[in-house]
Amino acid sequence: MTNIILIYTTCKDVEQAKQIGKHLLEKRLCACINIFPEMNSLYFWPPKSGTIDEGKEAVLIVKTLESKYQEVEKEIHKVHSYDVPCIMAISLAHVSKDYGEWIEGEVE
């Protein structure tokens, strides 16, 4: 098992994903981000309404250390426009040695 995680979050658009990603990088809370520019989302909104809403979003993947999760979550909440942003950590079973060392070296 590794101490590196991926944090998955959705954003209203690519610009917001870049803004959040750069914010996290500048604070050295992650080593790298990936942005998937367009995804279709279906979800119940407003909550408990039984109404299915549909939208287009961008996906932001944050590569960081498990010990940084709480800080990353806090910072995402500070700059995200959603009332209830999706923020989830994905644990990784394996990461190549060189890549893992690079991530650990970049995150302070």
Q: How far is CA 36 from the centre of its chain?
A: 11
| Residue 6 pLDDT level (bands cut at 50, 70, 90) | very high
CA distance 70 to 36: 23
From residue 72, how far is each of 5, 10, 30, 46 by CA, in Å?
11, 14, 8, 26
Domains of the chain: 4-106 (3.30.70.120)
State the average pLDDT over residues 23-44: 96
pLDDT at 34: 98
State the average pLDDT over residues 5-9: 98
Q: Decide: 55 and 41 in contact? Cβ < 8 Å.
A: yes
CA distance 22 to 55: 24
DSSP-based three-state secondary structure for 27: coil
pLDDT at 45: 83
pLDDT (tens digit, 9 = 90+) per residue, 51-97?
Answer: 999 999 999 999 999 999 999 999 999 999 999 999 999 999 999 99
